[in-house]
Amino acid sequence: MKDIRKMVQQRYGKIADESCCFNNQGISDTAVNYANIDLSALPEEAIQASLGCANPLVFARLSEGETVLDLGSGGGMDVLAASRLVGDTGKIYGLDMTDEMLQLANSNKAKMGANNAEFLKGYIEDIPLPDETIDAVISNCVINLSQDKQKALSEAYRVIKPGGRLRIADMVSIKKISPKLREDAEMWCGCLAGTITIAEYESILQNCGFSNIKIEIAHVYTKETIGIRTDLGDIDGAFAGALISADKNVL
Ligand SMILES: C[S@@+](CC[C@H](N)C(=O)[O-])C[C@H]1O[C@@H](n2cnc3c(N)ncnc32)[C@H](O)[C@@H]1O
């Protein structure tokens, strides 16, 4: 699996282009995950475009005036929901590498008139923002897609202000995964093959310099909910959507 990033980009570009038929293709249920978040100001297209695996906004506790960054912002649902929470005195950036997703996100932003939201093109492994400028980094079902998770999370650490926080939702593996699934590029693009264990996540976050690391499982996927090919080993209960929190201490 050499150029996985290109494959991921093509996959999500195609999904964004076909957004008329998104119909919530994520592996998780947006209505359930976002039950406690007010999405009433968002365009329906942004909600339909959600491809997340849990909800980073439930525990990010964003407040008025904060500067926030969403890694892998897709069609922009989390950015637009967060734009309401940080208000006119705050700012929210969405970062994504896929042109078609950025186009969709910008169209959703225009429909909502969210002037405090800005979508940036770039890689999460090389964040185009200065050091220590962000209060909270959020993300939803993206880090698992990166082949260099250490680089992506150390970039997040770099841009977070001392005293700031990382509050992300991501897929993790909670059972041994067959090598066949691990090597399947389609499964990587589908947020499964690139998953790591909770212990691996904790270790990477520690290496990046984060403290107060907590990883909680939000929900476990059964073979019915995940609905993938049966030739890839026992995937029943092998993956979970997790809420991952870590802080950057004031030195
Ligand atoms: C599964 S979708 C999640 C989108 C969004 N967070 C949501 O909850 O709907 C993954 C998104 O991450 C972007 N992405 C994946 N890998 C990336 C990378 N290395 N750098 C920047 N964006 C990336 C893709 O283009 C896609 O829009």
**pLDDT of the chain, 251 residues: tens digit per residue:** 668 999 999 999 999 988 644 444 455 678 888 888 889 999 999 999 999 999 999 999 999 999 999 999 999 999 999 999 999 999 999 999 999 999 999 999 999 999 999 999 999 999 999 999 999 999 999 999 999 999 999 999 999 999 999 999 999 999 999 999 999 998 999 999 999 999 999 999 999 999 999 999 999 998 888 776 778 888 889 999 999 999 999 98
Using DSSP's 3-state secondary structure scheme, residue 182 falls into helix
Give the model's pLDDT for residue 1.
61
Atom 26 of ligand 1, residue of closest alpha carbon = 74
66 CA to middle of ligand 1, Å? 23
Bridge partner list, 92: 68, 117
Look up the pTM and report it: 0.96
Ligand 1 center to 142 CA (angstroms)? 5
Number of the ligand 1 atom closest to the C-alpha atom of 75: 9
Distance between CA atoms of 131 and 250, rounded to whole angstroms?
14
Q: Which of 97, 99, 147, 188 to mutate to test ligand 1, by most ligand atoms within 8 A of the CB atom?
A: 97
pLDDT at residue 32 in the model: 84
Rounded-to-integer distance, Cα 93 and Cα 102, Å: 12
- One-letter amino acid at 239 equals F
- Residue 66 tokens read as 């904060």
pLDDT at 153: 98
For residue 225, what pLDDT is reported?
Answer: 80
Domains of the chain: 4-247 (3.40.50.150)
Cα separation values, 41 from 67, 82, 86, 113, 114, Å: 20, 11, 14, 10, 10
pLDDT at 244: 98
Contact residues of ligand 1, CB 6 A cut-off: 5, 8, 12, 50-52, 72-75, 77-78, 96-98, 101, 123-125, 140-142, 145-146, 191
Query: Closest Cα to atom 8, ligand 1: which residue?
Result: 52
The pLDDT, as a whole number, for residue 228 is 66
